[in-house]
Amino acid sequence: MPSSFRDLRVWQDAMKLACGVYAATSAFPKHEVYGLTQQMRRAAVSVPSNIAEGKGHRSNREFSRFLFHARGSLLELQPQILIAQELRYLPKDQAEGLLGSASGVGRALSGLINSLDDEAA
């Protein structure tokens, strides 16, 4: 297993997703600064942050717990993207791109969680 969180592909992909969310929300209406914009950014940033924090713990059990937190934040972000699309803050193609990235990160998180569970068994 990679020694640094920066070496984890899932962390790299989560970082790209977070940066994509920041770029997308920069065009949201100003009245959403403390609403949907902030919620989406916080959820997106939470994903790579939890991966990194979990990787810093000594046990796979603790790492896995943080990966579940990351997955929870990812699941929070996905309906927010859909809401932004419904409100026409995001064009359909941009929303679909973010959702596709989120799905990829979700699959990678699940795979990593499963591999940690397999090591523990």
CATH number at residue 62: 1.20.1440.60
Classify each residue of 44-59 as buried b or exposed e, where b means 16 or more C-beta atoms within 10 Å of its C-beta. bbbbbbbbbbbbeeee
Give 50-63 pLDDT, tens digit per residue: 999 999 998 999 99
Query: Would you put residue 88 in left (φ > 0), alpha (ψ -120 to 50) or beta?
Result: left
pLDDT truncated to tens, each residue of the chain (121 aa)?
Answer: 568 999 999 999 999 999 999 999 999 999 999 999 999 999 999 999 999 999 999 899 999 999 999 999 999 999 999 999 999 999 999 999 999 999 999 999 999 999 998 876 5
Total number of domains constituting the chain: 1
Q: What per-residue confidence (pLDDT) applies to 106? A: 98
Domain that residue 60 falls in: 5-120
